């Protein structure tokens, strides 16, 4: 299967075989010393580096990673003609492995058409409604999660590189403000958990930096793949704050800010988390 | 200290910052009045009743109530997974009097505006509170008293492990 080959090629490019193939105490030592290879860039650390060894192993092994099922859905949807235009993604974009390589590293991007930020899910649905004259995929449907993960997977191992220049700047500022504003009955901001306390336990969970580079990802608690916006809703809900709609402007701006925080980290999609 | 404030002025100040003073006159009515002294203590029981330390422990553990273990280590070995974003509460009964602990739990932001610790008995100045939780403090006045009474029983210091 070409995804297998591709994952291996990406792993080789990243110098990951040492991590993936070394088992036992050597592996543990490497982790204990805080050498996270590509998963750490300066102070930025992927959620992978805070995850337990079983979770990491599940992510690393393509045959164990349950998210691969969603990637398969994305791959077949890529070829699937839909809508009044009778077109599939492949009719305009050809081979995803070529045309989509690197694309996801730039998202969310400012869209001239809508005058606001557009994340990958919204771009996919924009193509469906505008170019295919098809129904947009529903948020959190297997199709949208699968397509987003499939497209993002074509950039696996490439550094996140969103721009906040020009028109994106004001949306970045809104996202930053959201990130730093206390909300909910527990009166907490994202910063309290993911900046001030990354690495600390909150009950049984080790707080990470809340990076977005592995999304959409498979979460054991969800028993399925989920989007970054689903994670935002979960974190908002945990502090007894209002959950905002999937794809809302607020969450898309927040996604820009969260993604920008992780500029330089490699895309990991599809990651696995607890 | 310049501010020997009453509960009323503290509440008005908080409400005014949030722009709520005139728009939501009814909401504070359900909370009992209390008096903060020196931004540091609430000397009197919120309910006029003593707290029940046994119930206080239940409230402290309950994830829907105090959920104190999410952030604090406590001398409760039967509960797994103690958080570490706040200081350990072992021996906290030796370090404070009830009047200090009462303000800490009612509204620790009076002591440290930057703190992560939620105010357990305050409804003003919150944003985007989830439906069903608006205008409700996390704990009732008596639950606050119960937790204070429980914390005062925590006089054992944490055993040194290394």
- Residue B139: inside a domain, yes or no? yes
Integer Cα distance of A268 and A60 in angstroms:
10
Contact A240, B129 (CB under 8 A): yes
Chain A interface includes B81 (CB < 8 A) = yes
Residue B26: is its pLDDT beyond 90?
no
Residues of B in contact with A274 (CB under 8 A): none
Q: How many domains does chain B divide into?
A: 1
Residues A168 and A59 in one domain: yes
Residues A141 and A174 in one domain: no
Residues A213 and A128 in one domain: no
Residue B21: is its pLDDT beyond 60?
no
Query: What are the pLDDT digits (tens) for B51-72?
Result: 999 999 999 999 999 999 999 9
- DSSP state string for A51-109: S-HHHHHHHH-TTT-TTHHHHHHHHHHHH--BTTTTB-HHHHH--HHHHTTTGGGG-SE
- Residue B111: inside a domain, yes or no? yes
Provide the pLDDT for residue B88.
Answer: 97
Residues of A in contact with B82 (CB under 8 A): 201, 203
A92 is in an annotated binding site: yes
- Residue B81: inside a domain, yes or no? yes
Residue B12: is its pLDDT beyond 80?
no
The torsion angles phi and psi of A7, rounded to 5 degrees, stand at: -60, -40
Residues of A in contact with B69 (CB under 8 A): 203
Give the number of beta-carbon pairs within 8 Å between A and B.
71
Contact A72, A63 (CB under 8 A): no
Query: What are the pLDDT digits (tens) for B73-102?
Result: 999 999 999 999 999 999 999 999 999 999
Model pTM score = 0.88
Integer Cα distance of B120 and A259 in angstroms:
33
Contact B42, B101 (CB under 8 A): no
Residue A116 parent element (H or E): strand A116-118
A194 is in an annotated binding site: yes
Integer Cα distance of A63 and B158 in angstroms:
46
Residues A59 and A72 in one domain: no
- Decide if B116 and A197 are in contact by the 8 Å CB cutoff: yes
CATH of the domain at B79: 1.10.760.10
Contact B34, B42 (CB under 8 A): yes
- Residue B46: inside a domain, yes or no? yes
Regarding predicted confidence, which is higher, B4 or A247?
A: A247
Torsion over CA of A21, A24, A26 and A30, rounded to 10 degrees?
Answer: 80
Query: What are the pLDDT digits (tens) for A110-157?
Result: 999 999 999 999 999 999 999 999 999 999 999 999 999 999 999 999
Per-residue pLDDT band at B162 (split at 50, 70, 90): low
Provide the pLDDT for residue B161.
Answer: 74
Provide the pLDDT for residue A34.
Answer: 59
Chain A interface includes B119 (CB < 8 A) = yes
Residue B40: is its pLDDT beyond 90?
yes
Measure CB to CB from residue B118 to each of A186, A203, A243 and give the nearest one.
A186
Integer Cα distance of A67 and A61 in angstroms:
11
- Quick check: is A177 catalytic? no
Measure CB to CB from residue B119 to each of A187, A204, A241 and give the nearest one.
A187
- Look at the alpha carbons of A240, A245, A250, A256 in this order and tell me if their dihedral is positive or negative: positive
Give the residue from A153, A181, A207 where a domain finishes.
A153
Residue-range definition of the domain harbouring residue A46? 3-63+162-273
Chain A interface includes B64 (CB < 8 A) = no
Residues A232 and A269 in one domain: yes
- Residue B6: inside a domain, yes or no? no
Contact A162, A169 (CB under 8 A): no
- Decide if A202 and B83 are in contact by the 8 Å CB cutoff: yes
Please tell me which residue of chain A has the smallest CA distance to B120: A186
Give the ipTM. Answer: 0.87
Residues A216 and A92 in one domain: no
Residues of B in contact with A184 (CB under 8 A): 126-130, 133
Residues A121 and A251 in one domain: no
Residues A258 and A201 in one domain: yes
Residues A59 and A175 in one domain: yes
- Decide if B70 and A183 are in contact by the 8 Å CB cutoff: no
Contact A46, A39 (CB under 8 A): yes
Chain A interface includes B114 (CB < 8 A) = no
- Residue B83: inside a domain, yes or no? yes
How far, in whole angstroms, is CA A39 from its chain's centroid? 14
Q: Of A69, A85, A235, A239, which one is the catalytic site residue?
A: A235
Integer Cα distance of A196 and A175 in angstroms:
18
Provide the pLDDT for residue A84.
Answer: 96
Chain A interface includes B73 (CB < 8 A) = no
- Decide if A204 and B81 are in contact by the 8 Å CB cutoff: yes
- Sites in chain A below the pLDDT cut of 70: 1-34
Q: Buried b vs exposed e over A16-55: b needs ≥16 C-beta within 10 Å?
A: beebeeeeeeebeeeeeeeebebbbbeebbbbbbbbeeeb
A193 is in an annotated binding site: yes
How many angstroms away from the CA of A194 is the closest CA of chain B? Answer: 11
Chain A interface includes B136 (CB < 8 A) = yes
Residues A257 and A181 in one domain: yes
Residue B5: is its pLDDT beyond 70?
no
A235 is in an annotated binding site: yes
- Residue B43: inside a domain, yes or no? yes
Give the residue from A153, A170, A204 where a domain finishes.
A153
Integer Cα distance of A118 and A103 in angstroms:
13
Residues A59 and A75 in one domain: no
Looking from the CA of B22 toward its CB, the CA atoms found within 13 Å total 0
Residues 6+ apart with CB under 8 A from B13: none
- Residue B10: inside a domain, yes or no? no
Residues A27 and A52 in one domain: yes
Q: How many domains does chain A divide into?
A: 2
Residue-range definition of the domain harbouring residue B92? 35-152
Provide the pLDDT for residue B49.
Answer: 97
Provide the pLDDT for residue A241.
Answer: 98
| CA nearest neighbour of A232 among A206, A204, A253 | A253
- Decide if A185 and B81 are in contact by the 8 Å CB cutoff: no
Residue B19: is its pLDDT beyond 90?
no
Mutate to test the interface with B, among A187, A200, A245, A251 (most CBs of B within 10 A): A187
CATH of the domain at A96: 1.10.760.10
Give the residue from A100, A123, A153 where a domain finishes.
A153
Residues of A in contact with B126 (CB under 8 A): 182-185, 187
Integer Cα distance of A127 and A110 in angstroms:
15
Provide the pLDDT for residue B30.
Answer: 81
Residues of A in contact with B119 (CB under 8 A): 187
Query: What are the pLDDT digits (tens) for B108-140?
Result: 999 999 999 999 999 999 999 999 999 999 999
């Amino acid at each position: 299967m070409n995804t297998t080959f591709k994952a291996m090629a990406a792993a080789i490019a990243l110098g990951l075989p040492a991590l993936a193939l070394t088992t036992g105490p050597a592996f543990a030592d490497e982790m204990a010393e805080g050498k996270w290879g590509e998963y750490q860039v300066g102070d930025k650390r992927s959620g992978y580096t805070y995850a337990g060894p079983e979770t990491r192993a599940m992510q690393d092994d393509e045959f164990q990673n349950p998210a691969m099922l969603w990637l398969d859905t994305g791959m077949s949807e890529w070829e699937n003609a839909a809508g009044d235009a009778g077109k599939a993604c492949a009719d305009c974009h050809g081979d995803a492995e070529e045309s989509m390589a690197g694309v996801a590293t730039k998202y969310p991007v400012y869209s001239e058409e809508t005058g606001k930020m557009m994340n990958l899910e919204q771009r996919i649905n924009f193509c469906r409604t505008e170019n295919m004259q098809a129904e947009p995929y529903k948020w959190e449907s297997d199709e949208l999660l699968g397509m987003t993960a499939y497209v993002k997977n074509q950039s696996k191992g490439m550094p996140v590189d969103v721009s906040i220049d020009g028109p994106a700047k004001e949306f970045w500022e809104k996202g930053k403000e959201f990130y730093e504003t206390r909300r909910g009955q527990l009166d907490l901001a994202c910063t309290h958990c993911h900046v001030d306390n990354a690495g600390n336990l909150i009950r049984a969970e080790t707080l990470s930096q809340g990076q977005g580079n592995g999304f959409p990802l498979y979460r054991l608690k969800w028993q399925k793949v989920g989007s970054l916006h689903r994670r935002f809703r979960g974190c908002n809900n945990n502090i007894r704050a209002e959950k905002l709609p999937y794809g809302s402007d607020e969450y898309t701006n927040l996604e820009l800010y969260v993604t920008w925080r992780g500029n330089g980290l490699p895309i990991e999609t599809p990651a696995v988390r607890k | 200290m310049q501010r020997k404030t009453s509960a009323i002025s503290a509440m008005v100040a908080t409400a005014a910052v949030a722009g709520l003073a005139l728009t939501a006159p009814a909401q504070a009515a359900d909370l009992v009045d209390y008096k903060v002294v020196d931004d540091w203590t609430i000397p009197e029981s919120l309910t006029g009743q003593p707290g029940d330390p046994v119930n206080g422990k239940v409230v402290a553990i309950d994830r829907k109530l105090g959920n104190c273990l999410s952030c604090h280590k406590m001398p409760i070995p039967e509960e797994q997974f103690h958080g570490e974003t706040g200081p350990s509460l072992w021996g906290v009964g030796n370090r404070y009097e009830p009047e200090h602990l009462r303000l800490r739990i009612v509204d620790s932001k009076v002591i440290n505006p930057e703190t992560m610790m939620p105010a357990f008995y305050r409804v003003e100045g919150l944003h985007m509170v989830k439906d069903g939780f608006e205008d409700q403090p996390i704990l009732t006045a008596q639950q606050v008293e119960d937790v204070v009474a429980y914390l005062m029983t925590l006089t054992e210091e944490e055993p040194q492990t290394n």
